[in-house]
Chains A and B, each alone.
Chain A
Amino acid sequence: MKTAALAAQLLEIAVALAAAPLFLGWLNQCRAWLSNRRAPSLLLPFRQLRKLFHKDAVLARNASPLFRAAPYVVFGTMVVAAGIIPSLSARLPLVAAADAVALVGLFATARVFLSLAAMDVGTAFGTLGARREMMVGFLAEPALLMVIFVASLISATTALPAISEHLATRTLTIDPALAFTAVAFTLVLLAENARIPVDNPATHLELTMIHEAMLLEYSARHLALMEWASQLRLFNYACIGFALFIPWGIATREIGPAGLALAVPILALKLAAAGAGLALIETVSAKLRILRAPEFLATAFLFAVLGMLVRGLLGAPPSP
């Protein structure tokens, strides 16, 4: 039993590592199609990572050990998060440690290290990016916590797998509280993963970049790990969203090959839909001014609080 569980856990982590660049590739393809451009290959992120790994790393003369360690720490937290989030099954061993608030803490750790490392070398862009990232993160965290709070109100637990199981096994209900919270979560996802409308992942203009600014000093394997980590971050957020709002397909009974085998294509389907949806949102939105980012996140917070209010005012949706 235990080896099977361990194998399943490793499988989940492997799937995450493989799927994250694929997800980003799919997202970029959708954006290209929606913009009436020719799409890059689906495997382009893989090739970019491979290219980076083959290069020689260049470090600034005054880079501290923190700068050299940060990529590994960030990547490591993202991998651990990928293992914790119930993307394939709700019963995996590590998943038992998945308290949603602890997850938020993991993401926060990654962000802190990323920002510190960006400021480490002392360039203007790095500091600029770090400050902006911290501002967005500072505002996004309460919204994210509120989303988790509402979800835990509905399921009476903050353990993510338990929430997934609860929502997957109850009968289909129209739950306005969950609907509002889902909208809030989408907004937070856009903000935390540096997508339009909060940040343009393709830009390197000083006026507008947040995430890219923090990666400017990195090269070769460090940059590869950072890029992979941000792809993993997007994948993790998407899986958290699935776990909270679209949990059907996650294996909820005891771990068996059949359950996992079914869960993988379902996950792929969900990722495909999510990627298309995100691409659509990015295409129809314009990037906000940095000054408007707090308003954007306040809207997210408001939606989450609305979800809580609706839950409190209306009570649980009546079940037959």
Chain B
Amino acid sequence: MTDPLLPSAAIHVAIDRQLLDACAALQLLIAFAMLAQRRIVSLVNLLAAQGAVLAAATLLLAWRTGQGHLYVSGVLTLALKVAFLPWLLHRLIDRLEVRFDAEPALNVSGNLLAGLLVVVFAFGLAQPITHLASTAMRNAIGIALGVVLLAFLMMITRRKAISQVIGFLSMENGLFFGAMSATYGMPMVVELGVALDVLVAMLVLGVFFFQIREQFDSLDLHHLESLGERR
């Protein structure tokens, strides 16, 4: 860490915080972009970008606060969310040959406006935590919750199974970001557990998708909506 007596140290601190805030803003932008995007390959790339921003913020925070476990967490995020999971998803997309998602229920503009409302709501919800937090990134908690709710909105307006899964992963990203903003991450063992869960979930899903495709010849969730109360 830089010596606080050096005249340039204060500028370093300010730039760090600005970079962290920029990471938060980028996360929000990516979340909105996912809401509006209809090409599935672009969705996966956006997810990878989101993971990359998360990893960058984690590593920057680790460097700034000197907490060792954040380094591990950042590297883990890079390995899992930027490298492995998008690769897995791309492979799935190739083999399942999905390309586009159907037009969402509201049109794209309506979706985006709903997203705006959701973000404002999330910000209001996160106010008490922002006031109480003492971390460098407390302003980003509202944004993290906004990303979570935007991902949730994305999940409920999508028709293809794989888009819902991408929304789910995006929600996990937002949750991690929130954890980082509020508490500099969770205890290492919990983070490892969560990472393991996400990994296993994706593997289970991979198997699942093939089962669905085998049965229905498509990953459109419309086929999965036949179960009702009529039986």
Contacts and interface: CB of A to CB of B under 8 A. Distances in A.
Does A touch B (CB under 8 Å) in the complex?
yes
Contact of A305 (B25, B116, B142, B143): B116
Contacts of A318: 13-14, 17-18, 21
Contacts of A319: 14
A295 B25 contact: no
A174 to B, nearest CB: 4
A317 B21 contact: yes
B150 to A, nearest CB: 11
A134 interface: no
Nearest to A173: B18
Interface residues of B, number: 29
Contacts of B25: 176-177, 179-180, 306, 310, 314
A157 to B, nearest CB: 23
A299 B32 CA distance: 10
A286 to B, nearest CB: 16
Interface string B124-146: 00000000000000011011001
A302 B28 CA distance: 12
Given A180-B25, A302-B32, A313 B143 contact: yes
A305 B123 CA distance: 14
A317 B18 contact: yes
Contacts of A317: 14, 17-18, 21
Interface string A153-176: 000000000000000000001111
Main secondary structure of the interface of B (DSSP, over half): helix
B119 interface: yes
A298 interface: yes
B123 A295 contact: no
A309 B119 contact: yes
Interface string A292-306: 001100110010011
A176 B11 CA distance: 18
Interface string A269-306: 00000000000000000000000001100110010011
Contacts of A309: 28, 116, 119-120, 123
Interface residues of A, number: 24
A306 B15 CA distance: 22
A319 B16 CA distance: 11
Interface string B9-47: 011011101110110111011001000100000000000
A305 to B, nearest CB: 6
A174 B19 contact: yes
Contact of B139 (A174, A294, A299, A313): A313
Given A302-B116, A306-B29, A309-B28, A314 B108 contact: no
A294 B109 contact: yes
B116 A320 contact: no
Nearest to A317: B18
B112 interface: yes
B83 to A, nearest CB: 26
Contacts of B140: 313-314
A312 interface: yes
A177 B28 CA distance: 11
Contacts of B142: 313
Contacts of A298: 108-109, 112
A315 interface: yes
B109 A295 contact: yes
Nearest to B112: A302
Nearest to B18: A174
A298 B108 CA distance: 9
Given A298-B109, A314-B139, A174 B15 contact: yes
A298 B146 CA distance: 20
A-B pairs with lowest CB-CB distance, top 9: A176-B25, A320-B10, A320-B14, A174-B18, A298-B109, A310-B25, A318-B17, A314-B139, A314-B21
Given A174-B19, A302-B32, 14 more contacts: A174-B18, A177-B25, A179-B25, A180-B25, A180-B29, A295-B108, A298-B112, A306-B29, A309-B28, A310-B25, A310-B28, A313-B142, A315-B139, A320-B11
